[in-house]
């Protein structure tokens, strides 16, 4: 899912039969054995129909759901909106991988207005995949300057409108391996700032304040994905390398390039349980040029807005980002309905990759898991995390964070 960290319990209950195990963009969507498992729908059926056993629900092949959502997160405050999910097959006889289209619109207590549309569509006997990410946002935000040593005294309120359009085409090369090319546009406009809370000159002004910025270019993607289930993997590996080159000939304000390297590994610790140790490494490196301030690597601005549990989105920003996270996932009930996690992460923002790790920014936390769909092994994830400088808060996802 979009991982915008909105608590959508109602949406999850109504949409869970969509079997949207391909809400992440790639990978094996093998479902877990659900014979002895229970999820929220089983609980509701038991409560309202007095049925004692779990319900053997045949997976839907085509589904459309539109539901209201309500939630709260550290980054958005209270939020209300609408979410819709459409899942379908592009192959005859409803076989192969499942395609997904997600549409979401939110308004929150921070006056942020957000519309997002993501689609992951398989075609031609699952040999090709078309991935689209469209976002239109009116976004009052707070930035704190550049680097790993910024403090809340440097809080700088910035307001902007934002248009994102990413389109990527991928071709299967061999088992678990894909390669592709795409187009990326980040357009920020109507940018205004209030200035630092302590009345010093902001890093935004020092960096080169502008009322708009446009980054437009192509990207090259390499992907390896052997996970057993991209929503909640019990094993396997994931590696995604994205090279992006922004060119003035394609409408970019400046020429700059970057690379993002996303690596994940999952260890199933026992044949007698689904306890998993998950490891995540995410690097976002500027290779050349000077990208616009709002396009610099920052907390929570990875593809699915999931880095940095313990901090609000954009709390830290820099030219280069190094990120590590580990999480131990374990069951509470034997039927899989309830589980829990403990996790820790660390990040660093460098001016140059040769500067070394000048300061490590840690965070840690714990959370609970509620099984929403036993067939796709999808959990509702509610986490509490603590960072430095008195940063702490609740973070919610539908599906595991990574």
Q: Would you list the domain boundaries of the chain?
A: 9-398
Return the percentage of the chain with pLDDT > 70, whole number.
Answer: 80
In 3D, which of 150, 162, 257, 229 has the Cα closest to residue 399? Answer: 229
Q: Indicate whether 172 pLDDT > 90.
A: yes
pLDDT at 103: 83
4 or 373, greater pLDDT: 373
Per-residue pLDDT band for 178 (boundaries 50, 70, 90) equals very high
2-33 b/e (C-beta count within 10 Å ≥ 16 → b): bbbbbbbbebbbbbbbbbbbbbbbbbbbebbe
pLDDT at 56: 55
Tell me the C-alpha distance between 396 and 177, whole Å: 31
Averaged pLDDT for residues 188-194: 94
Bridge partner list, 100: 87, 120
Max distance between CA atoms of the chain, in angstroms, equals 65
Per-residue pLDDT band for 55 (boundaries 50, 70, 90) equals low
What is the pairing mode between strands 378-387 and 392-398?
Answer: antiparallel
Q: Which long-range contacts (CB under 8 A, 24 or more apart) does 175-178 make?
A: 176/28, 176/224, 176/225, 176/226, 177/222, 177/223, 177/224, 178/26, 178/129, 178/221, 178/222, 178/223, 178/224, 178/225
Tell me the C-alpha distance between 40 and 141, whole Å: 36
Q: Contact 266/305 with Cβ under 8 angstroms?
A: no
> Could you give the dihedral angle defined by the CA atoms of residues 60, 65, 68 and 70, in that order, rounded to the nearest 10 degrees?
40
pLDDT at 29: 37
pLDDT tens track for 6-30: 333 343 334 333 333 333 333 333 3
Instruction: Report residue 360 as tokens.
Output: 């490590």
Q: If one looks up domain 9-398 in CATH, what number appears?
A: 2.40.160.50
What number of helices (H) and strands (E) belong to the chain? Answer: 3, 16
Averaged pLDDT for residues 71-89: 70
pLDDT tens track for 102-131: 888 888 777 788 898 988 888 888 889 899
């Amino acid at each position: 899912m979009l991982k915008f960290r909105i608590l959508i319990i109602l949406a999850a209950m109504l949409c869970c039969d969509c079997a949207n195990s391909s809400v992440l963009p790639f990978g094996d969507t093998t479902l877990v054995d659900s014979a002895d498992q229970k999820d929220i729908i089983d609980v509701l059926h038991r409560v309202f129909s007095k049925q004692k056993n779990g319900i053997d629900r045949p997976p839907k092949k085509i589904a459309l759901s539109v539901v209201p959502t309500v939630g709260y997160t550290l980054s958005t405050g209270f939020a209300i909106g609408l979410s819709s999910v459409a899942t379908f097959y592009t192959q005859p006889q409803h076989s192969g991988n499942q395609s997904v289209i997600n549409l979401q619109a939110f308004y929150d207590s921070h006056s942020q207005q957000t519309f997002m549309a993501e689609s992951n569509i398989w075609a031609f006997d699952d040999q090709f995949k078309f991935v689209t990410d469209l976002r239109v946002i009116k976004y009052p935000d707070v930035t704190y300057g550049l680097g790993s040593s910024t403090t809340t005294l440097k809080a700088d309120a910035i307001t902007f409108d934002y248009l994102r359009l990413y389109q990527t085409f991928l071709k299967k090369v061999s088992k678990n391996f894909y390669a592709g090319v795409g187009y990326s546009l980040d357009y920020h406009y109507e940018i205004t700032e209030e200035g630092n809370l302590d009345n010093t000159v902001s890093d935004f002004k020092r960096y080169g304040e502008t009322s708009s910025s446009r980054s437009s270019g192509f990207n090259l993607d390499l992907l390896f994905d052997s996970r057993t289930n991209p929503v909640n993997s019990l094993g396997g590996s994931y590696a995604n390398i994205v090279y992006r080159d922004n060119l003035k000939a394609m409408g970019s304000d400046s020429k700059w390039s970057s690379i993002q390297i996303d690596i994940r590994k999952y260890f199933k610790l026992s044949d007698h349980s689904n306890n998993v140790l998950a490891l995540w490494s995410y690097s976002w490196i500027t290779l050349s040029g000077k990208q616009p301030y709002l396009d610099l690597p920052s907390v929570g601005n990875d593809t699915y807005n999931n880095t940095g549990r313990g901090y609000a989105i954009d709390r830290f920003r820099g030219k280069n980002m190094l990120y590590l996270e580990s999480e131990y996932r374990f069951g509470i009930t034997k039927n899989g309905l309830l589980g829990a996690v403990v996790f820790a992460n660390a990040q660093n923002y460098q001016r140059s990759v040769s500067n070394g790790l000048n300061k490590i920014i840690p965070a840690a936390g714990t959370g609970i898991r509620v099984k929403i769909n036993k067939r796709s092994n999808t959990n509702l994830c509610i986490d509490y995390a603590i960072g430095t400088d008195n940063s702490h808060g609740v973070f919610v996802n539908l599906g595991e964070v990574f």
